Structures are given as C-alpha cells and as structure tokens.
Amino acid sequence: MAVVEISIIPIGTPSAGVSNYVAGCLKQLESEEEIKYELTPMGTIIEGELEKIFKVVRKMHEYPFNKGIERVVTNIRIDDRRDKDLTMNSKVTSVKNKI
C-alpha cells in the first residue's frame, strides 16, 4: 500500500479560482471502492494499492481537459513503503507520537 498526494492545476482558466476543477477531479474518486482519500488545502491524498491509484490519478488528470481546459500541470508525490503497511493514519500518528 502506498500513500500518494496529487495536485492538479488547470492552466489558462478564465479566473484565478480553480475550485470548480478541483471539485470535479475529486468526484472521480467517489466511485472507487478500494481507495481512501482525504482533501487537504494543497491537494488530495490517496491511500491504496499503487496500481489502482495510478488508474484513478489518470482519470483525475483528464477531468479538466473534458471541461475545455487545454493544459494541465499535475503533481504526484508517492510515498511507498514495503517493510510495513503505510496508511494516512499511521503516518500522522507516528509523527504525533514523537512530538
């Protein structure tokens, strides 16, 4: 299991507000059954099997193009650990326990 953060930026939008597009990208996650996600002020964090995450990230990245946008810059950051199960919860708890 991996924890992945994704941030999608549509370029050439009519205004500086892009939450419409972000909301549409997020909706692509709703129908996914085997992944968990969390919206943060800077992106969306997804937890699940890397293969499934890649597929849904692909769909999220495509969304703004379907809405007429001609350029999209997408940032994907993968944290993948194999010696133990990495979850969104375990990552935050592990840090908080040490403060």
Which residue's structure tokens are 């994907």?
76
**Residue 45 interacts with its own copies (CB under 8 A)?**
yes
Is residue 23 helix, strand or coil?
helix
Which residue's structure tokens are 């375990």?
90
Strand order in the sheet with 43-48: 2-11, 43-48, 36-40
Q: How many Å from the N-terminal Cα to the C-terminal Cα in the chain?
A: 26
Q: How far is the CB of 74 from its own copies (least distance, A)?
A: 4
**Binding map of its own copies across residues 3-42, x = CB under 8 A, - = no contact:** x-x-x-x-xxxxxxxxxx-xx--xx----------xxxxx
Q: How far is the CB of 1 from its own copies (least distance, A)?
A: 12
Q: Compute how many residues bind its own copies; rule: CB under 8 A.
A: 57
List, in order, residues 6 or more apart from 75 with CB less than 8 Å away: 5, 6, 7, 8, 9, 43
In the region spanning residues 73 to 92, those forming contacts with its own copies, defined by CB under 8 A, are 73-83, 87-89, 91-92
Is residue 84 helix, strand or coil?
coil
**Residue 67 interacts with its own copies (CB under 8 A)?**
no
Contact positions toward its own copies, by CB under 8 A? Answer: 3, 5, 7, 9, 11-20, 22-23, 26-27, 38-43, 45, 47, 50, 54, 58, 61, 65, 69-83, 87-89, 91-92, 94-99
